[in-house]
Structure 1
Amino acid sequence: MTVSCVKLSSDAFMVCLTHALSTENEEVMGLCIGEVDENRVSHISAVMLLRRSDKRKDRVEISPEQLSNAAIHAEILTAELKRPMRVLGWYHSHPHITVWPSHVDVRTQAMYQLMDECFVGLIFSTFNEDKKSKQQRIQVTCFQSTNHSPEGEPPMYERIEVPLQVAPSSHISRESMQSLVTLPGILTEEESEAYTSTFASKDLDLVTRLHNSAVFTKSICHMMEVLTGPLMQSLENRCEHDKRLAAQLLTRKQELERQLEELS
């Protein structure tokens, strides 16, 4: 294992989890951005949500173009934050199934580690019911891959679990806020692309076309109901909380200034 530990900032964790909970029918994916310190601890502080070109229930694919765009985004963050930011890993969701990576996930992870030995994979298991308590549970794991095959033999990759810590943060970073804002747009683009693809067939009758339009409208409305609305409400609540906190801090500042004047 080339990474001793992964520290995921709480605001980046919130973005990943929100993305993972945005759909329970197919897997979603994204890339993690951050830095690795001298102790081989990976600090993930930003994520880049990726649009799916092909929706699948059990597989996600990250194109070379998406990796290149993420690397460019990391360079921009490096200039803005004055820190050596780079793409450190990928994440995807496992709706209704276990958190453990499949053999395809382990093989994909091994491929990424050929480019960067510190690359890690995160998996978010969502919409998975505990058999005993009958309650929904959310699990997350971090892993790397290792080849246990003898030299000269075909590779046999196995999962290595990497310790994962969610590092607390007092605020939502600008990078995480931008990612949250882009999420509804990404999902809308995916639905629009799927709907537009139905126009390729010229043999569709009127009833089928009306059905496709109704399904598209229903998908957009459902997204507004379960994602966009609650997300806006959550951000508004966070804004009100920050305003109250700012007012309390201002009051405390005035009290300290008054006490300082009395002492002087």
Structure 2
Amino acid sequence: MPWIQIKLGTTDKKAEKIAGMLSGFGAASVTYMDTIDNPVYEPLPGETKLWTNTTVIGLFDADTDTKRIIDFFYEHFGDKITYKVEQLEDKDWVREWMDNFHPIKCGERLWICPSWCDIPDPSAVNVMLDPGLAFGTGTHPTTFLCLSWLDSLNLKDQTIIDFGCGSGILAVSALKLGAGKAIGIDIDPQAIEASNENALRNGVKDRLELYLPAEQPEGLKADFLVANILAGPLRELAPSIASMVNPGGLFAISGIIENQCQELMEIYSQWFDLDEPVFKEEWCRITGKKK
């Protein structure tokens, strides 16, 4: 099905109002983009964090009368708004994404394989993954860094906490690498659903417990913990995350860009003896042992 997108250049003060108007005209989706390419890395849960110069993009059916929509916005905002109308190529976007998600080797033993692909090495530890609507495919540097860390450990019969489990990729990988039990925690119900489905797909559902934060048991602890989220939550939740690791236990955190690494290391050094950080592209992984 062909589509048309209308891009409206505005400010952060007007962006959400304009998004609502585009939705009122029947937009199939509305997204925000930075006009001058200054990325926002860390919106808080429930927060829409916008740029000073924001482009609001409405996606419409190709039969839409775009002139009527543009005239409406000029009537309301005059020359304080810019616009561009683009015809999008008719593609199967799901298929396009699937064609570009290939098996990935993470460490010495572990492969992350899309559920629709053939396994490249049947003798390896293969995790069959379909992320669904949750974050985590192994392609992002932070996920790769965490998977490589898991691959380096002896997890046999151990319990691991995956804090911010997303698609379940880290918890499921830990179980496939020999962990006896994994506990996944996430604020997003869709992540819980995706993790459950990927655990079922990999035959480890009976060893994975999944919780929304409000439902997780009190005093939850393990000898291993991994948290691939963002620096903001890692900063704010540091005492809670540290409390979940037993003395002598190991942890890894990522989702941290390079210039945030030192601050996070200073925070977590209160509870952990830290290793040298590991970097991939502009991202960082911090690991250590609980004091």
Q: Compute the TM-score of the two structures, normalised by the length of structure 1.
A: 0.23
TM-score by length of 2: 0.22
> Which structure would you say has the larger RCO, counting Cα contacts within 8 Å and 6 or more residues apart?
1
Higher normalized strand content (fraction of residues): 2
Higher helix share: 1
